[in-house]
A and B are shown apart, each in its own frame.
Chain A
């Protein structure tokens, strides 16, 4: 079975530009989460979507937005890019949050964004 896929693999943008990152979850998974991993740090939670609705948002500015489509794939959008947005952006999926569920996530390989 295919795992979580992300595109593109690498991306170079200039400050002030906009970027869209894409993610396809594991088949059957209805929840998609986005994380930002700055070099040398652990991933930081950005968003989670479940059944096309936002379930949670991390401590990121409004320049970051996301959406989930009927086929459960997702896009992460970042406007007005700053140098500090350079990071590995990870997408993760799971079946969906359940009360008392373990909450483990299955991660894609990530998109490496470099802002110059």
Chain B
């Protein structure tokens, strides 16, 4: 079945530091890949997505590249801000069951000023 493995948190960084959150997946077919973000007390927001191999999703300074050979979709940001503090979830939807998302456990990011 489908699964997503995310880097364990929590991750604590200083403002302007470089961020990487690792994500690897197992899926049938050719999944679409997503990063969602959950700010304190809120629901999930789609951060970025990629639908095929070598696609790069980007939004708000965050980037992730769909790597089929390593089944990975690592999230990166060159310079984090305090406002980026949130929980980040890697997720996939697989062509055979693209009606549902399979999520990783989430990574809590705290950015200190």
Contact = CB atoms under 8 A, between A and B. Distances in A.
Interface string A81-110: 000000000101000010011111111111
A97 B99 contact: yes
A110 B38 CA distance: 11
Given A43-B103, A50-B99, A103-B99, A90 B43 contact: yes
Given A107-B43, A109-B43, A42 B99 contact: no
A55 B105 contact: no
A11 B103 CA distance: 25
A107 B44 CA distance: 6
A90 B44 contact: yes
A92 B112 CA distance: 32
Given A41-B106, A42-B105, A102-B32, A107 B99 contact: no
Contacts of B93: 102-104
B100 A42 contact: no
B97 interface: yes
Nearest to A109: B43
Contacts of B44: 43, 90, 92, 107
A58 B4 CA distance: 16
B101 A43 contact: yes
A58 B1 CA distance: 12
A110 B45 CA distance: 12
A92 B61 CA distance: 25
B101 A105 contact: yes
